[in-house]
Structure 1
Amino acid sequence: MNHEPDWERRLADALKSVARRSDVKSFVEQTPWLYQLLRRAARQYVAGEERRDGLDAAGKLADMGYRTSLEYIGENTMDRAVCQAAAEELKTIIRELNGAGDRVCFDLSHIGLSVDTDLAYRLLTELAEEAMRVEAELLISMEESAKTDRILDVYRQAASRYPNIGITLQAHLHRTRQDLADLSHSPRRIRIVKGAFREPEGQALPRSAALNDRYLELVHDAIRQGHHVSIATHDEQIINEAIRRGWLDAGNAEFDMLYGFRPGLAAKLRAAGFPVRIYITYGQEWFLYLCHRIAEYPPHLYRAVADMAGGEAADPCLAYELQTQ
């Protein structure tokens, strides 16, 4: 049974639809007052628009004892030159981490998947070479189910050569249990998320107790198969169950939480000695990200409205430190 209130489901569906409309995105970008309002709301969840913003946030959190991942936001890029530029930006991040983090994340459609699969593979291997030199890890994000086969194909081909590449799997998709089983022969980093995309009828579970059960089953299977697992959730029911089952004790699992989401919970887990990773994003393509984050947990809309109405926001990194004092 799905206990999510009807208004939350409707809002989540609406935001997921709006996020995919290029005309809405263009209107926001071309309307200065609206752009500034929404960017103010996005600051809670996005470190900033420039690389330095992301690296600074990662450095602050690393100094507090958190593991960090850094993503340069972007997807569905249709121009080869822009794909190449995105890959060069990611290479620069890798070179400039300097202890601020050990993982760089991205969508394959940001580096060519929407243009040509071979382009995405070539740029991915270039990134993997760069990351190998500084002992950093790459983590491929998962996108809509229509891209899943191509994403997994590119991942498997590259991961057979580079052990520093991991993949994200979405628990809400009915296909994911088989996808995980197909990866069991070559254990790598697996990041398991619930899934934030609106999918065709019959391909995914809604937010529900059934989805939580499936999520836990996938984590269990991934650990049993020998993968290093990032338990990417803010759901305390799942977190508490993972702790109860001892999944964090063997050293091959971690909690993975989005920047700006429930910093008090992240601090509590870190203070208790559990490995906690904060997933930090930066870049100018924050509109889609903001819509998905609110859709993922509609009550965040209240916070977004408050941020738009308020003045200068406090540094979100401070919450991760102050909550532990």
Structure 2
Amino acid sequence: MEAISKNFFLYLSNNKLLDRFAKRFGAKFGADKIVGGETFTHAIPIIQQLNHDGLEVTVDHLGEFVDCEEESRDRAGECIRTIQQIASGGLRSEVSLKLTSLGLDISRDLVIENLSLILKEAEKHEITVTIDMEDSSRCGETLDIYRELKEKYPNLGTVVQSYLYRSDEDLDALNDCDPYLRLVKGAYKESPKVAFSEKKLVDDNLKHLIKKNLLNGHYTAVASHDDRIVEYTKALAEEHSIPREQFEFQMLYGMRNQMQKDLVEEGYKVRVYLPYGEDWYGYFMRRLAERPANIAFAVKGIFSK
């Protein structure tokens, strides 16, 4: 039943008609519980409160699969303005972005041009930028671009997904560039030709990747709401005397709030992934697919006044 539910919401996440409907009627149906508003200005008070509570933040201007050069440049401009507002407001926040929003599906030169402008501004303000990972068809090119720009911009991170067979080899290939990696399970619908379909195999591979990246000495963001993954990471760090400055936990805004607070009280760094923007629909559906309990957010949103 859980697999059927996941496939259903992943199917809905790619429905263009429903996406247009969602943009028209705004972040209703519970989306406002996990999205920080339609503009970065709306998100600022949330970031300030999270910072006050001892939490770090990474913000993501929602939107992907841009097929217009002008729009990709607009997206880059939005990222640059966000970085400037983070700096001027003294906010403890990084920035996450998707390469398809910067023109990956249009031209490699265009996405590198846009990303380079963002990274120059981020470097000026000592703000880290993380390239979110998308579906497997874009994984190789995303990591190639990451490697190319990481040489010039050390404040650049990216994501590796444990449900992909290739991820262990990707860690080996990235090892020499001192990567800043966010390690996740993965949220896209993938073919069994490229991805593990069994949850246990995905979880086991995530543990393997966490251990490998940490023991290689690289900064690691463990992005999971799974108690077992969190406890595994804590035990691993204790066993191998890995300093807490070498890793952090990352969780989505609006999810596992008590766990976030508990980890902060224990002295761990916790970063909240806070998306904002009008293109919230696909993100929201993937969150519902990841965890059936998230559906409660949607039901509450529909019936609340």
TM-score, normalised relative to structure 1: 0.89
Structure 1 residue 186 displacement after superposition: 1.0
User: 2:31 is matched with which residue: 8, 26, 42?
Assistant: 42
Residue equivalent to 1:251:
245
Structure 1 residue 73 displacement after superposition: 0.7
Q: Distance in 2 between matches of 1:280 and 1:187?
A: 26
1:152 aligns with 2:146: no
User: 1:224 is matched with which residue: 210, 215, 220?
Assistant: 215
Structure 1 residue 28 displacement after superposition: 4.0
1:304 aligns with 2:298: yes
Residue equivalent to 2:53:
64
Residue equivalent to 1:293:
287
Cα deviation code 1:215-255 (max 9, x no counterpart)? 01101111122221000000001101111122663420000
- Aligned-pair identity in percent equals 26
Q: Distance in 1 between matches of 2:139 and 2:19?
A: 24
Does the CA-based 8 Å contact 1:70-1:101 persist in structure 2?
no
1:275 aligns with 2:269: yes
Does the CA-based 8 Å contact 1:77-1:110 persist in structure 2?
yes
Structure 1 residue 265 displacement after superposition: 0.8
Unaligned runs of 5+ in 2: none
Q: Distance in 1 between matches of 2:21 and 2:63?
A: 18
Structure 1 residue 24 displacement after superposition: 2.8
**Count of residue pairs the alignment pairs up:** 300
TM-score, normalised relative to structure 2: 0.95
Structure 1 residue 23 displacement after superposition: 2.6
Q: Distance in 2 between matches of 1:91 and 1:132?
A: 11
Question: Which letter maps to 2:30?
Answer: A
Q: Distance in 2 between matches of 1:153 and 1:59?
A: 35
Q: Distance in 1 between matches of 2:164 and 2:292?
A: 21
Unaligned runs of 5+ in 1: 1-6, 312-325
Q: Distance in 2 between matches of 1:179 and 1:20?
A: 27
Deviates more, 1:69-78 or 1:20-29: 20-29
Structure 1 residue 208 displacement after superposition: 1.7
1:104 aligns with 2:95: yes
Structure 1 residue 307 displacement after superposition: 2.0
More helix per residue: 2
Q: Distance in 2 between matches of 1:16 and 1:147?
A: 18
Does the CA-based 8 Å contact 2:248-2:271 persist in structure 1?
yes
Question: Which letter maps to 2:139?
Answer: T
Does the CA-based 8 Å contact 1:62-1:99 persist in structure 2?
no
User: 1:122 is matched with which residue: 106, 109, 113?
Assistant: 113
1:11 aligns with 2:5: yes
Does the CA-based 8 Å contact 1:102-1:135 persist in structure 2?
no
Cα deviation code 1:148-205 (max 9, x no counterpart)? 1111111111111110110111110001110111000011210001000001122111
The RMSD of aligned alpha carbons is 1.4
Distance change in 2, residues 1:250/1:66 (3 Å): closer
Question: Which letter maps to 2:227?
Answer: E
Q: Distance in 2 between matches of 1:39 and 1:199?
A: 28
Question: Which letter maps to 2:52?
Answer: D
1:20-31 aligned within 5 A? 20-30=14-24
Question: SS of 2:233's equivalent?
Answer: helix
Q: Distance in 2 between matches of 1:239 and 1:206?
A: 22
Give every structure 1 segment of 4 or more consecutive aligned residues whose post-TM-superposition deviation is greater than 6 Å. none
Residue equivalent to 1:191:
182
Cα deviation code 1:261-315 (max 9, x no counterpart)? 110111111111111111111000000011001101012112311221112xxxx
1:92 aligns with 2:81: yes
Residue equivalent to 1:140:
131
Question: SS of 1:299's equivalent?
Answer: helix
Does the CA-based 8 Å contact 2:76-2:102 persist in structure 1?
yes
Cα deviation code 1:26-81 (max 9, x no counterpart)? 24445xxxx35x62410010010011122221121112211111111111000111
Q: Distance in 1 between matches of 2:6 and 2:109?
A: 34
Structure 1 residue 207 displacement after superposition: 5.2
Question: SS of 1:49's equivalent?
Answer: coil
Distance change in 2, residues 1:9/1:47 (3 Å): same
